[in-house]
């Protein structure tokens, strides 16, 4: 088990740094909005996790790389002590990018020492959690970078082969799921997050779920039909969000001389009408479903139907509030802050995305975001 974990550790850590290879030094620093952190912070924070949660506790004689890094690179773990204000991560020009990479090398060297010996189950479990945590931040790093780049009038190219929103559906039509009682939740022996545990059963009515995700062209019909101007399709909070923020299209879309374009990590490109829609909020997803005379699936409907569907190219909005499963318990210590305390005012998304690390997601994986957010790689699947 130790060798396997050591390989996983090296592979995961290497991929994070590979994602940063196209960047220049200036790209590591900016923070455009509170919810989008700079690449430098992501690089350091995932390293902080291994140092704070594992090395300080389980490697005798370990000395922290820098006494102030716990304050700078803690995210939301109250049990780990005080931390920098989230919205001010982009003003931390120091430590320099080079020093953050030295921090990673320091922690990796000592993790190699730890991994050279048999690991207690508790440590192995924490390490696996840390690897999945870093994979989540790999996705966030690309999401955040795209948001910052999109504000640059030069339309920066992260990588010419990184469009990441060009996927087309390979299925069509509707899948019928019969009324029954179905098992929900993770039942395997491998890793899952604590919010997937406590498997239980749910009763589902007969429903039909779309085999294809909504495309850009289909959503464009909603725009051209005045969907953003008709309050009748919107939840009240959604209509306030649209009105107050003057939202008229998905994030990264723009019209130039009457033609639609969208910003991608490969630069500004013409909108592909046949590609899967991306970067819509829950409010937009729900309004579109209402316009179509349909609805969004519950997370349980999604989980039951997903084995027969193509999924993993977009995080798919459900209509389910992010709530604990029956029997859910919050773990002791900082690890217990990972999921449980966020179970309020958020909506579950299922599936995965082109920015999700290979093998990271699964049928029972429960992602979650606040309803107005668009910067995650989110799409729409309808139910009737």
In this prediction, residues 53-74 reach a mean pLDDT of 95
Judged by average pLDDT, the poorest of 2-6, 37-41, 180-184 is 2-6
- Kind of pairing, strands 267-270 and 315-321? unpaired
What is the per-residue pLDDT across 312-330, written as a single tens digit (0 to 9) for each?
Answer: 999 999 999 999 999 898 8
Q: How far is it, in rounded angstroms, from Cα 203 to Cα 188?
A: 22
Strands 315-321 and 378-379: parallel
Q: Give the chain's domains with CATH numbers.
A: 2-150 (1.20.120), 174-379 (3.90.1580.10)
CA distance 354 to 167: 9
pLDDT tens figures, 68-124: 999 999 987 776 678 889 999 999 999 999 999 999 999 999 999 999 999 999 999
**pLDDT exceeding 90 applies to what percent of the chain?**
91
Q: Are 377 and 288 contacting, i.e. CB atoms less than 8 angstroms apart?
A: no
Residue-wise pLDDT for 23-39, tens only, equals 999 999 999 999 999 99
**pLDDT attached to residue 53:** 94
134-151 pLDDT, tens per residue? 999 999 999 999 999 999
Please report how many Cα atoms fall inside a 13 Å half-sphere around the Cα of residue 171, on the Cβ side: 14
Beta strands in the chain (DSSP E): 174-177, 180-184, 200-204, 207-210, 253-256, 259-264, 267-270, 315-321, 347-351, 367-369, 378-379
pLDDT tops 70 at residue 334: no
Whole-model pTM: value is 0.95
Beta carbons of 295 and 359 less than 8 angstroms apart: no
* Short-list 71, 67, 69, CA closest to 82: 71
Mean pLDDT value across the chain:
95
The pLDDT of 12-26, averaged and rounded, is: 98
> Over 303-368, what HEC string results?
HHHHHHCCCCCCEEEEEEECCCCCCCCCCCCHHHHCCHHHCCCCEEEEECCCCCCCCCCCCCCCEE
Mean pLDDT of 356-363: 97
**pLDDT band for position 185 (50/70/90)?**
very high
For residue 301, pLDDT over 80 is answered with yes
Residue 83 confidence (pLDDT): 86
Chain-centre distance of CA 114, in angstroms?
A: 30
Q: Decide if 322 contacts 342 (C-beta within 8 A).
A: yes
User: How long a stretch of residues is the chain?
Assistant: 384
């Amino acid at each position: 088990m130790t060798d396997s974990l050591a390989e996983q550790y090296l592979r995961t850590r290497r991929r994070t740094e590979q994602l940063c290879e196209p960047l220049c030094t200036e790209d590591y620093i900016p923070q455009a909005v509170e919810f989008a952190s700079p690449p430098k912070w992501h690089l350091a924070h995932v390293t902080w996790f291994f140092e704070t949660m594992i090395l300080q506790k389980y490697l005798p004689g370990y000395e922290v790389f820098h006494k102030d890094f716990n304050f700078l690179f803690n995210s939301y773990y109250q049990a780990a002590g005080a931390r920098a204000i989230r919205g001010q991560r982009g003003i931390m020009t120091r430590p320099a990018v080079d020093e953050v990479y030295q921090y990673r090398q320091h922690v990796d060297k000592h993790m190699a020492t730890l991994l050279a010996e048999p690991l207690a189950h508790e440590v192995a479990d924490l390490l696996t959690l840390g690897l999945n945590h870093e994979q989540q931040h790999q996705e966030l790093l690309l999401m955040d970078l795209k948001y910052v780049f999109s504000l640059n009038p030069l339309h920066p190219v992260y990588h010419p082969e990184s469009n990441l929103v060009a996927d087309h559906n390979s299925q069509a039509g509707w899948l019928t799921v019969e009324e029954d009682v179905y098992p929900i939740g993770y039942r395997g022996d491998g890793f899952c997050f604590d919010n997937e545990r406590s498997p239980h059963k749910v009763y589902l009515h007969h429903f039909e779920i779309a085999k294809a995700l909504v495309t850009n062209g289909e959503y464009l019909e909603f725009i051209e039909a005045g969907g953003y101007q008709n309050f009748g399709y919107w939840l009240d909070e959604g209509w306030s969000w649209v009105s107050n923020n003057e939202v008229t299209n998905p994030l990264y879309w723009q019209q130039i001389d009457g033609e639609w374009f969208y910003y991608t990590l490969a630069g500004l490109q013409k909108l592909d009408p046949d590609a899967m829609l991306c970067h819509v909020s829950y409010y937009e997803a729900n309004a579109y479903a209402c316009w179509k005379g349909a609805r969004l699936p519950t997370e349980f409907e999604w989980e039951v139907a997903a084995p027969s569907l193509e999924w993993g190219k977009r995080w798919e909005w459900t209509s389910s509030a992010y709530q604990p499963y029956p029997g859910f318990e919050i773990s002791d210590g900082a690890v217990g802050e990972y999921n449980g305390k966020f179970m309020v005012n958020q909506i579950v998304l299922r599936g995965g995305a082109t920015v999700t690390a290979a093998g990271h997601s699964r049928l029972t994986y429960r992602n979650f975001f606040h309803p107005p957010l668009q910067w995650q790689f989110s799409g729409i699947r309808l139910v009737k």
